[in-house]
Amino acid sequence: MKAVLPAAGWGTRFLPISKAVPKEMLPLGAKPVIHYVAEEAAAAGCTDVLIIINQSKEAIRRYFEPEPFFEGILERAGKLEALAEFRSPAGLARFQFVYQPEMRGLGDAVLMAREFVGDEPFAVMLADTVIAGPSPLGRMVELARTQGRSCVALEECPEERVSRYGIAGGLVEADGLFRLDAMEEKPAPEKAPRLRRDDGTQLPPHAFAARYVFTPAIFDALQDCPPGRNGEIQLTDAMRTVMEKEGFYGARLGGKRLDIGNPKGLIEANTSLEALG
Ligand code: UTP
């Protein structure tokens, strides 16, 4: 399966450092955040990875491309351990890059992947979010292969934060697996959809958790989406169209989502390093 990592956002919550260093390149220990995301993609069997960047985020491209000149220097100096570390990013998968010309939101970024993806299901992984503990991606990839359905990772979300995230509603199908029938982006708490058991009892709110597997139907849905808030193309609107047409699964996250899109999140993630392995 192919994976798409959107990494072209402004990163305004990380200004001024994001002026020179993409937030996806900020360190968790000795590796940048996006390295962990690429490792997770590789572990789920994604051999080809497309990273969506823009001109000010060339550092991401350099990080994942081989550097024969410096590799030669390390090799000739016999620094083989350093050479292995140096080569490790490029060795994770086959990487390609595409530029998002205008920052028109996550939906627009995913649309940039149409040619790369072709006619197969594919994974989308937000490049500023790391999963500590088991990744849901393997199960999601399997569902897309066997059922031909899209799937989004879900994480329980405190009531007072539902208006910050995409929130899912639907029915429990199996342990940690849901058949979705509602999706709302940043709803008011009283209007947020809910997951429900067969007997009608509700689970706490569940938010989208930065990992998706889509069928190619998402592209037509995105193409037909009118721009919403701030002229941005909302991924959630296109997901709802796909849900209504083909059905959509939600898979509960076994691990914990570490959102490093803001400085506090990065500090917290650095204190959970041992959980990242
Ligand atoms: P965010 O909404 O968290 O990123 O997108 P942002 O817009 O960079 O953040 P702020 O609000 O300005 O601080 C989640 C992921 O989607 C990518 C981002 O790079 C991030 O990895 N993204 C977002 C794009 O690739 N293109 C976009 O137009 C928006």
Ligand 1 atom at shortest distance from the alpha carbon of 103: 28
Q: Mean pLDDT throughout 86-107?
A: 96
Domain spanning 2-270 has what CATH number? 3.90.550.10
Q: Dig out the tokens for 158 from the structure.
A: 């405190």
Q: Mean pLDDT throughout 120-136?
A: 96
Task: Kindly report, residue by residue over 211-228, the tens digit of the pLDDT.
Answer: 999 999 999 999 998 887
Q: Would you state the pLDDT for residue 83?
A: 97
Q: How close is the Cα of 189 to the center of ligand 1, in Å?
A: 24
- Domain spans of the chain? 2-270
Q: Mean pLDDT throughout 50-74?
A: 96
Q: How close is the Cα of 53 to the center of ligand 1, in Å?
A: 10
Top-confidence residue, 46 or 227: 46
pLDDT of 273 above 80:
no
Q: Would you state the pLDDT for residue 168?
A: 98
pLDDT of 48 above 90:
yes
Q: Mean pLDDT throughout 185-210?
A: 95
Query: What is the CB neighbour count within 10 angstroms for residue 103?
Result: 17
pLDDT of 232 above 90:
no
Q: Mean pLDDT throughout 252-262?
A: 93
pLDDT of 230 above 80:
no
**Ligand 1 pocket, residue 265 CB under 6 Å:** no
pLDDT of 178 above 80:
yes
Q: Would you state the pLDDT for residue 203?
A: 96
Q: Mean pLDDT throughout 116-135?
A: 96
**Ligand 1 pocket, residue 24 CB under 6 Å:** yes
Ligand 1 atom at shortest distance from the alpha carbon of 104: 28
**Ligand 1 pocket, residue 9 CB under 6 Å:** yes
Q: Tell which one of 23, 24, 106 to mutate to probe ligand 1, the residue whose CB is within 8 A of the most ligand atoms.
A: 106
In the block, residue with structure tokens 């490029």: 90
- Yes or no: say if 251 and 177 are a contact pair by the CB < 8 Å rule: yes
Q: How close is the Cα of 87 to the center of ligand 1, in Å?
A: 27
Q: How confident is the model at residue 277 (pLDDT cuts 50, 70, 90)?
A: low
**Ligand 1 pocket, residue 242 CB under 6 Å:** no
pTM for the complete prediction?
Answer: 0.96
Q: What's at 89, amino acid-wise?
A: P
**Ligand 1 pocket, residue 60 CB under 6 Å:** no
Top-confidence residue, 143 or 277: 143
Indicate the average pLDDT of the chain. Answer: 95
